[in-house]
């Protein structure tokens, strides 16, 4: 009997088991094990494959890149509560308030600035939802525009470096995080620009949707105004240098950049006396649980893919995806549709750990630059935060938005921004140069591959051909 | 039933206590990692022990906290269908998943990882890198972490069964 049916059956089993709703990590692992046992019984697999599991777990532990996850999460949580976002929104809102759509521009600007500081969506969305949204509503903004721009700008945290999405993608694609950061830099700024353009178009065609702030709402003028804006902008700029600066200059690995950012955020919060013990404990608690569930999904998906590859599932997927009409373009279109649709149901950790390892080798075989591919997928994954009804950004926004804002407004407000994100996906495919990593010189001088792989276990975690 | 429930609550407190302690390791590993980068930049040298302790600590955090995360329903689900079920339906899925998914998986990992730890312990295995650390502590984390997770799985099973008895079977 041939084992050709095993891979499709396993994939079908995966869908079924995940839909059941038991925690993803254990469902993935169990699905792998069940088919592992079937494979053993039928003689397709060898026991040594199962015995390799603890080594894989050890390899996941030894992964220096993923260590960045707790650092950036911790940093984001500290920033969320330390009032930096609040100060920024208030003073930048004053600065831009005089022009039509000014508050919306301020939200985009602050969203991008926060995004360049940390890699966590919740922090920015919650802060902007609490501070900017009530002001926007008070001065007559259209609820859909206001909520959409907040959710989208908050989601920028996942594409502007140092984003968690890019770290996880880099790890799964086997490329350097620094290179992926460089690749994402221009596209993320273009995306930010498109949001600005959209707001500008709204102010042109529907001026009532985004009015300027009246004089009475702008108490600060002249020097005082610029002073307050400067005071608010300097701390995040410092943090951006601490994290991105040190990474791009090659002084620190992205992981260490995250650790320094978190330390910097702690110091800032402490200096402003905004770091009570309860807050610190809560941030540590959340970080611990997030780390645990993320790493266990990775362990589960490792079990799954170990067995899946054991039954030649990788060859099956490759066969399926290379046989598409249209060659590389056909592959890109299918992959992007797949990620877009899956993003309705899965969060980005799940997509990155389950789907990307299946796609990466095919992309490589088709001669696609994996860094460019990572940027493309990263932009596409932005939509997973903005999809009604399960998008995380919408969910966070709903939790802090005033009651008079209807949930349907939040959903409908998100739609134009999801469309803009898709336009960006098309742009990156049409003009691959904006996200390309084809600057090996700039890269080697900018990013030093510091001791990421010093440990002998670094390679256990995925076989060489999958890295 | 009450003996079983008492056992379940003992496991709850055990994992709660573990979770309370290991979360501080996040702060510790943050400071160590930032320190490593500074150290290398200022002194131009890096220590393998300093690099390895980072992943030892992070491994300790996510493995040892897995049980506590399970108690707090922190392991994400795809709640597309699950979220629409009655409480009773959800409990049934959890019982099913714990019995067929969680417990076999954790048992298998414990079973296979214990010899790996024993080998490292008996041979005094060291990191292959100069100045690296002893390997057995980090290998011990795997069976211990999955052990805590399995214990919590059993505790959840007991609590769910108890809830099912109380819940009217409508």
For the residues of B8-55, what is the DSSP string, one character each? HHHHHHHHHHHHHHHHHHHHHHHHHHHHHHHHHHHHS---HHHHHHHH
Residue B50 touches partner A, C-beta closer than 8 Å = no
Task: Find, in chain B, the residue whose alpha carbon is nearest to that of A58.
Answer: B139
- Nearest residue, CB atoms, A27 vs list B74, B79, B97: B97
Say what the pLDDT of residue A464 is: 34
Rounded Cα distance between B95 and B163, Å, is 11
pLDDT at A439: 47
For A150, how many CA atoms within 13 A lie in the half-sphere containing its CB? 38
What is the average pLDDT score of chain B?
91
As a whole number of angstroms, the distance between CA A302 and CA A54 comes to 11
**Interatomic CA distance for residues B81 and A332, integer angstroms:** 30
B97-115 mean pLDDT: 94
DSSP single-letter state for residue A189? H
Instruction: Tell me which chain A residues have a C-beta less than 8 angstroms from the C-beta of B138.
Output: 58, 61
Asked whether A111 and A128 are in contact (CB, 8 A), the reply is yes
Residue A463's pLDDT is 34
Widest distance between CA atoms in chain A: 81
Q: A106 to chain B, minimum CA–CA distance in Å?
A: 32
For residue B77, the distance in angstroms to the closest alpha carbon of chain A comes to 4
Indicate the Cα dihedral angle A301, A378, A157, B54, nearest 10°: 40
Mean pLDDT of B91-120: 94
| CB-based contacts of B4, cutoff 8 Å, min separation 6 | B158, B162
Note whether B71 contacts A: Cβ–Cβ < 8 A: no
**B residues 81-140 near A, CB within 8 Å?**
81-83, 85, 90, 93-94, 96-97, 100-102, 104-105, 108-109, 112-113, 116, 127-129, 132, 138-139
Q: In this model, does residue B85 exceed pLDDT 50?
A: yes
| Among A228-232, A427-431, B49-53, B157-161, the least confident range | A228-232
For residues A79 and A270, what is the distance between their CA atoms, to the nearest angstrom? 11
Give average pLDDT by consecutive 10-residue segment, chain A, 467 residues. 82 89 92 91 83 89 90 87 80 86 92 84 80 87 94 92 90 91 93 96 91 79 82 87 88 90 92 87 92 92 89 87 84 92 82 90 91 94 83 84 88 94 94 70 37 36 34
**Residues recorded for chain B:** 170
CB A91 within 8 A of CB A229: yes
Nearest to B113 among A54, A246, A290 (CB): A54
Inter-chain CB proximity B55 and A350 less than 8 Å:
no
Minimal-distance CA residue of chain A relative to B133: A455
What pLDDT is stored for residue B169 in this prediction? 54
pLDDT at A211: 87
Beta carbons of A52 and A306 less than 8 angstroms apart: yes
Confidence bin at B170 (pLDDT 50/70/90): very low
Reduced 3-state DSSP string for A255-324: HHHHHHHHHHHHHHHHHCCCCCHHHHHHHHHHHHHHHHHHHHHHHHHHHHHHHHHHCCHHHHHHHHHHCC
Predicted pLDDT at A305: 87
Among A20, A288, A290, select the one facing B19 at the smallest CB separation.
Answer: A288
pLDDT confidence of B137, banded at 50, 70, 90? very high
B7 to chain A nearest CA, in Å? 23
> Cβ separation of A61 and B77 shorter than 8 Å?
no
Shortest CA distance from B99: residue in chain A? A30
Query: Coil, strand, or helix at residue A443?
Result: helix
CB atoms within 10 A of CB B169: 6
Residues 6+ apart with CB under 8 A from A378: A158, A159, A163, A165, A166, A169, A180, A184
Which DSSP string corresponds to A320-373? HHHTSTTHHHHHHHHHHHHHHHHTTTS-HHHIIIIIHHHHHHHHHHTT--HHHH
Distance CA A77, CA A75 (A): 5
Chain B 30-49, CB below 8 Å of chain A: which residues? 30-34, 36-38, 40-41, 46, 48
Return d(Cα A423, Cα B69) in angstroms, integer: 39
Query: Is the distance from CB of A340 to CB of A383 less than 8 angstroms?
Result: yes
**Mean per-residue pLDDT for B108-134?**
90
User: What number of C-beta contacts closer than 8 Å exist between A and B?
Assistant: 216
3-state secondary structure B118-137: HHHHHHCCECCCCCCCECHH
Closest CA to B64 of B17, B13, B8: B17
Are A293 and B55 a contacting pair at CB < 8 A?
no
Q: Is the pLDDT of residue B56 over 80?
A: yes
Please name the member of A53, A263, A295 whose beta carbon is closest to the beta carbon of B112: A53
CB neighbours of residue A438 within 10 Å: 12
- Within 8 A by CB and 6+ apart from A462, the residues are A59, A174, A357
Which among B65, B68, B105 has CB closest to A26? Answer: B105
Contact in structure between A213 and A102 (CB atoms under 8 Å): yes
Q: Which residues contact A336 (CB under 8 A, 6 or more apart)?
A: A376, A380, A425, A429
Determine, for residues B76 and A291 on separate chains, whether the beta-carbon distance falls below 8 Å.
no
């Amino acid at each position: 009997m041939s084992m050709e049916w095993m891979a499709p059956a396993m994939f079908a089993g995966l869908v079924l088991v995940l839909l059941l709703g038991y925690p993803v990590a254990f469902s993935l692992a169990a699905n792998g094990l069940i088919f592992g046992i079937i494979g053993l019984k039928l003689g397709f697999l060898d026991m040594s494959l199962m015995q390799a599991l603890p080594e894989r777990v050890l390899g996941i532990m030894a992964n220096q890149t993923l260590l960045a996850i707790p650092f950036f999460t911790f940093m984001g949580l500290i920033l969320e509560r330390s009032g930096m976002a609040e100060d920024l929104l208030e003073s930048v809102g004053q600065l831009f308030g005089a022009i039509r759509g000014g508050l919306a521009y301020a939200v985009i600007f602050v969203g991008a600035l926060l995004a360049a500081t940390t890699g966590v969506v919740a922090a920015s969305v919650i802060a902007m939802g609490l501070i900017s949204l009530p002001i926007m509503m008070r001065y007559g903004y259209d609820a859909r525009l206001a909520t959409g721009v907040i959710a989208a700008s908050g989601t920028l945290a996942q594409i502007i470096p140092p984003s968690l999405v890019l770290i996880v993608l880099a790890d799964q694609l086997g490329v350097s995080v620094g290179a992926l950061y460089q690749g994402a830099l221009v596209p993320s700024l273009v995306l930010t620009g498109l949001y600005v353009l959209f707001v500008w178009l709204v102010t042109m065609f529907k001026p009532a949707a985004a009015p300027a702030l009246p004089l009475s709402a702008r108490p600060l003028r002249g020097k005082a105004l610029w002073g307050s804006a400067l005071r608010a902008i300097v701390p995040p700029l410092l943090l951006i240098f601490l994290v991105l600066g040190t990474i791009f200059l090659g002084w620190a690995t992205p992981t260490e950049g995250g650790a320094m950012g978190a330390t910097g955020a702690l110091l800032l919060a402490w200096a402003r006396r905004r770091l009570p013990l309860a807050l610190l404990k809560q941030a540590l608690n959340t970080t611990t649980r997030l780390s645990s569930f993320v790493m266990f999904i990775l362990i589960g998906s490792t079990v799954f893919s170990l067995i899946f590859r054991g039954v030649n599932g990788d060859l099956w997927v490759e066969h399926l995806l290379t046989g598409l009409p249209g060659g590389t373009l056909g592959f890109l279109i299918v992959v992007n549709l797949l990620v877009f649709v899956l993003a309705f149901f899965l969060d980005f950790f799940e997509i990155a750990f389950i789907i990307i390892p299946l796609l990466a080798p095919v992309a490589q075989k088709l001669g696609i630059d994996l860094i460019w591919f990572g940027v493309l997928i990263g932009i596409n994954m932005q939509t997973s935060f903005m999809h009604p009804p399960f998008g995380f950004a919408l969910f966070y926004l709903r939790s802090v938005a005033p009651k008079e804002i209807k949930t349907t407004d939040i959903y409908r407000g998100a739609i134009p921004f999801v469309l803009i994100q898709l336009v960006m996906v098309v742009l990156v495919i049409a003009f691959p140069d904006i996200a390309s990593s084809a600057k090996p010189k700039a890269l080697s001088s900018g990013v030093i591959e510091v001791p990421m792989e010093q440990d002998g276990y670094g390679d256990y975690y995925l076989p060489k051909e999958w890295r | 039933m009450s003996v079983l429930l008492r056992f379940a609550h003992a496991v709850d407190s055990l994992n709660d206590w573990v979770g309370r302690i290991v979360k501080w390791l996040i702060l510790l590993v943050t400071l160590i990692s930032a320190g490593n980068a500074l150290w290398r930049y200022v002194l131009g040298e890096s220590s393998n022990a300093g690099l390895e302790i980072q992943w030892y600590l992070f491994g300790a955090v996510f493995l040892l906290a897995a049980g506590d995360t399970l108690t707090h329903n922190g392991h994400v689900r795809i709640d597309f269908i699950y979220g629409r079920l009655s409480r009773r339906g959800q409990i049934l899925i959890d019982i099913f998943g714990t019995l067929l998914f969680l417990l076999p998986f954790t048992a298998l990992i414990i079973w296979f990882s214990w010899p790996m730890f024993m080998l490292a312990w008996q041979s005094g295995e060291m990191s292959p890198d100069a100045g690296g650390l002893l390997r057995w502590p980090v290998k011990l984390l795997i069976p211990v972490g999955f052990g805590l997770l399995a214990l919590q799985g059993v505790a959840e099973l007991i609590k769910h069964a108890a809830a099912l008895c109380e819940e009217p079977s409508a």
